[in-house]
Structure 1
Amino acid sequence: MTAPAGDASLEARVRMEVERAIQRSIKGLEYISTGDPAVGLTPKDVIHGRGTLKLYHYRPQSDEVYRVPVMLVMSLVSKPYILDLAPGQSLVEFLVKRGFDVYMIDWGVPRPEDARLRLEDYVLDFIPDCVERVLEDSGEREISLVGYCMGGQLSTMYAALHTGGPLKNLACFTTPVDSDGMVLFKRWLDPRYFDVDRVVDTLGNVPPELIYASFDMLKPAQRVAKNIQLWDNLWNDDFVRSYRLFERWAADQIPFPGECFRQFTKQFMWENRMVRNELEVGGRRVDLGAIRVPFLHVVAEHDHIVPYDSARPLVPLIGSEDKREVMLKGGHVSLVAGGNAIYRLWPQLESWLAERSV
């Protein structure tokens, strides 16, 4: 005599949940006892170093390489390995395997003496220097820049102030340009309550805990929700591995160089100069309309760090005829790394660069 189909189905579900509960306990102990997962594993060489800055060249993995090298530019407050998380979850690895000659700027962790660094140092010195090093190393005369978040801001500033230079293509991900669209950040940095001069004069570099806490406050319940999601999926090795990779990066923020933070707060957040084309770097106005190279801006539909209202004006401000905005599903981080990025952003970037890198 066989059990009714409904009873058999219920029994199977109960068995599955019991098995998952056992696995959660086992995996939970493993989670606590094992160290952080390895990151940034795509083979590379340091071709230039300056202070804390390192310029990486990723070793080619294809016999045929596109002529125009690609240099990745990260934010000043995040470590760059989000773009090279792990084999199979790495934008860098993807591009290298597709035949691109890939370089990356790693800003490093600012030292106390780096609190003096300003936007001028990054836009008029460090980035141009790295561009020249890439061209010398690759033997080419043109370069493509890809900037993520604030790295996109730095890249657009560079492009606007070096219009006669070797830049061939410029791509940005989730790059803010209108601070009015960053409503919560704007409120927290309200000059009536936030004394940026006192913060920088007292602390020098702005501690990463302050930056990390500001991100957390954008979605106060997110950390609790993520912990619940982790518990529900502790039995799933792939989920746990991905979770640990992202959590390691999210918690691994770095200080914001003090003088640059002062500049950024006053000129971008308070005075909103970037969207007005009034931002000045080294006494020179950053006119985004002066950018004429092919331009791509990829934004995330569910980005709570750089909301679309902050990113939307960027493409209209660019002076290029060949310019495009692409909105993809995902958040600020999942846009560039993880399972969704593999099928959404990465192929879009590959296709766009390939057409313009011959």
Structure 2
Amino acid sequence: MTAPARETTVEERVRQQIERTIQRSIKGLEYISTGDPAVGLTPKEVIHARGTLKLYHYRPQSDEVYRVPVMLVMSLVSKPYILDLTPGQSLVEFLLKKGFDVYMIDWGVPRPEDTKLRLEDYVLDFIPDCAERVMRDSEEDEVSVIGYCMGGQLATMYGALHADGPMKNLACFTTPVDADGMTLFKQWTDRRYFDVDRVVDTLGNVPPELLFASFDMLKPAARVAKNVQLWDNLWNDEFVKSYRMFDRWAADQIPFPGECFRQVTKEFMWENKFAKNELEIGGRRVDLGKIKAPFIHIVAEHDHIVPYEAAKPLVPMIGSEDKREVMLKGGHVSLVAGGNAIYRLWPQLESWLGERSV
């Protein structure tokens, strides 16, 4: 018979709080004096470089199980290391250990001369070129594509305009389709008040400070709440390490190529052409119904950046018979990285992708 658990006395609780307060003070000094934690540590090689773009091939960490290589497509405004934070908290590392051959497109930080880049460059040139190089490097004739946030938009545009191409499977995470569901973003870019032509013509590439401020406006009290949470857990080394990595990534935004920003603002945010199946790239209509590859869209229940109303129409618009939507607990970032992702998204992705990669 198991003995009943002993209740913690008031004296023990006071002692615990005093100890944690002391640890907070010590850890607070360490927090201020130490640099940012290292991220993106999974061993990789650059197999192709073009301007700021780099195509990575990650070194295998187990015997290859699945024949079809995986190519990760990232957003244009965020650093890609959110999918490779640190050993034990890396989707890339997880996929490698499960036997996948993993590649990633890192768009890099746009230069002043990159302000002319448009969706045409990414969807009709960069992504197809990288897919061809992945297949050449892996000696396979198909590739599975995974896109996160705007990377999912780019991946679906690529799939729609290359319906007879080599895409074996397509997985998207928190990918917006219906601009009317973007709530505060929709208001922030309201054409009555937001002069996108003046912004781009004056600045060229859109500064990351502008984008970062727009994200902060979606949840204005979030940063204060995060600081309070950090103070409460400053004694906890694992919490502090995780906090610092996520905070570094959230603040590590990059400029948005100016012409692409103008294009996205007008055709996605203002005209909502993506949701209406009216978006044209290079004179060709992006008809998502032409995508026939197996498709999965994984969305976050508490996503304030891409609310469910913005993501919901994607699966019905895809033409594949094998398609599904999965909603998981978490927010826009915690869906793909951290403890929540380890136990929710990653196993879902492995199971779905594994069945379709043999």
User: TM tier, shorter chain?
Assistant: over 0.9
Alpha-carbon distance in 1 for matches of 2:306, 2:97? 30
Alpha-carbon distance in 1 for matches of 2:7, 2:207? 58
1:176 Cα offset (Å)? 0.2
Alpha-carbon distance in 1 for matches of 2:288, 2:72? 20
Listed as ranges, the matches of 1:324-343 within 5 Å are 324-343=324-343
Aligned to 1:28: 28
**How many corresponding residue pairs?**
354
- For residue 261 of structure 1, what is the amino acid of its counterpart? F
Aligned to 1:18: 18
Alpha-carbon distance in 1 for matches of 2:107, 2:79? 8
Aligned to 1:126: 126
- For residue 272 of structure 2, what is the amino acid of its counterpart? N
Alpha-carbon distance in 2 for matches of 1:73, 1:152? 7
Is 1:153 the counterpart of 2:157 in the alignment?
no
Structure 1 residues 195 and 16 mapped into 2: Cα distance closer, same or farther (>3 Å)?
same
Conserved? CA contact 2:64–2:101, under 8 Å: no
Is 1:103 the counterpart of 2:109 in the alignment?
no
Is 1:206 the counterpart of 2:243 in the alignment?
no
1:330 Cα offset (Å)? 0.1
- For residue 329 of structure 1, what is the amino acid of its counterpart? K
Aligned to 1:348: 348
- Cα deviation code 1:174-222 (max 9, x no counterpart): 0000000001101110000000000000000000000000000000000
Conserved? CA contact 2:299–2:325, under 8 Å: yes
1:64 Cα offset (Å)? 2.7
Conserved? CA contact 2:156–2:288, under 8 Å: yes
3-state SS, counterpart of residue 9 of structure 2: helix
1:65 Cα offset (Å)? 3.2
Aligned to 2:140: 140
Alpha-carbon distance in 1 for matches of 2:64, 2:183? 46
Aligned to 1:3: none
1:8 Cα offset (Å)? 6.7
3-state SS, counterpart of residue 172 of structure 2: strand
Unaligned residue ranges in structure 1 (runs of 5+)? 1-5
Aligned to 1:242: 242
Listed as ranges, the matches of 1:1-358 within 5 Å are 9-358=9-358
3-state SS, counterpart of residue 123 of structure 2: helix
Unaligned residue ranges in structure 2 (runs of 5+)? 1-5
Alpha-carbon distance in 1 for matches of 2:335, 2:203? 33
Structure 1 residues 15 and 135 mapped into 2: Cα distance closer, same or farther (>3 Å)?
same
3-state SS, counterpart of residue 332 of structure 2: coil
3-state SS, counterpart of residue 104 of structure 2: strand
Conserved? CA contact 2:75–2:148, under 8 Å: yes
Kindly report the root-mean-square deviation, in angstroms, between the aligned alpha carbons of the 2 structures. Answer: 1.1
- For residue 42 of structure 2, what is the amino acid of its counterpart? T
1:63 Cα offset (Å)? 1.6
The percent of aligned pairs where both chains have the same amino acid is 83
Alpha-carbon distance in 1 for matches of 2:35, 2:239? 17
1:300 Cα offset (Å)? 0.1
Structure 1 residues 250 and 8 mapped into 2: Cα distance closer, same or farther (>3 Å)?
closer
